[in-house]
Amino acid sequence: MAGAELSDFFTLFPMRRVGSADLDTVLAEEAPEALTVLFLWGRNCPNCDIAKRAMMTAPERFQLPDVRWLHDNVYDDFDMATRFGVHGIPVFFLFHGRRQLGRITSWPGSDAFLDVIGQQLRRIIAAI
C-alpha cells in the first residue's frame, strides 16, 4: 500500500461501511470474528488521515483474523455521531456482538491502539 492515496483507503483496507440505520443489524449478525471495531471518521479530518495512513503503512498489523472492521463518515451521518456522543474524531468503538466493550478516542498511535485491541481480544477469548 506504499504510495497509495488516502482516497483509496477503504478500497485498500477493507472495512464495511455501516450507517446508523443498520448498525444494530450488522452487530447482531453471526460473525466469526470475536471483536468488531467501528471507525468513526470524517472528510478532511487530519487526525483521521493520520490513523488511515498508519493502517495503510502496515495493514498486516491491523487486519487481524479475529477482528471485523466497520466504518462510517459521521459528517454524512449525524445520527451515528449523536448516538455515541461523538465530540471529536477519529473515534473507534469496540464491540463483541452487540455489546459495546469500549472506545478509543482520537488516534493514540499504532502500538497503543493495537495493545488495546489485543487486550480486548484476550478478554473475549478467555470468556468463551
- Give residue-wise pLDDT tens across range 64-90: 989 999 999 999 999 999 999 999 999
User: What percent of the chain has a predicted confidence (pLDDT) above 70?
Assistant: 97
Does the pLDDT at position 36 exceed 70? yes
- Mean per-residue pLDDT for 81-107? 95
52 burial level (CB within 10 Å; 0-12, 13-18, 19+) = buried
What single string gives the DSSP state of each residue in 6-28? GGGHHHHTT-EE--TTTHHHHHH
CATH topology of domain 15-107: Glutaredoxin (3.40.30)
Domain boundaries, the chain: 15-107
- Mean per-residue pLDDT for 41-57? 94
Q: Which CA distances in Å does 113 have to 3, 4, 124?
A: 23, 22, 17
CA separation for the pair 12, 59 (Å, rounded): 9
Please report which confidence band the pLDDT of residue 11 belongs to, taking 50, 70 and 90 as the band edges: confident
Q: Supply the mean pLDDT for the chain.
A: 92
